[in-house]
Structures are given as C-alpha cells and as structure tokens.
Amino acid sequence: FFMVIPTAASAFYLKLLSGLTQTFRNTEARDKLLEADTPEKLWKALVRLTRTTIP
C-alpha cells in the first residue's frame, strides 16, 4: 500500500488513516456501516464510530 500526501498536512492524514483503520478493525463497527442504507446514515454512523479514534 502506497499513498502520496501533502507534506503540510501529513500529520492530519496519518491520524485520519490511523483512526479509520482502528475503526474498520472492529467487526461491530464494520457491521454498523454495512447496515446503513443511505449515504446520510452511513456518514452519521462513521462520525459516531470514529469519535474516539479520530481526534
């Protein structure tokens, strides 16, 4: 896996990727995201699930 990101924003992107990875490792979190049947519900679930993993 390789990704190019702007130098000025690298700390933010690394925290974002780390938080998303932590969230997606959780089976219950993945299930909740898969249950969302609209983009709005998916976004709300993602925001709720990443509150503790993305500062």
Mean pLDDT of 24-51: 96
Mean pLDDT of 15-40: 94
Check residue 40 and give its pLDDT. 98
Check residue 15 and give its pLDDT. 87
Please give the Cα distance from 51 to 19 (Å, whole number).
Answer: 9
Where is pLDDT greater, at 18 or 3? 18
Phi-psi region of 40 (alpha: psi -120 to 50; beta: other; left: phi over 0): alpha
Where is pLDDT greater, at 33 or 15? 33
Buried b (16+ CB within 10 A) or exposed e, 2-28: eeeeeeeeeeeeeebeebeeebeeeee
Check residue 13 and give its pLDDT. 82
Check residue 55 and give its pLDDT. 76
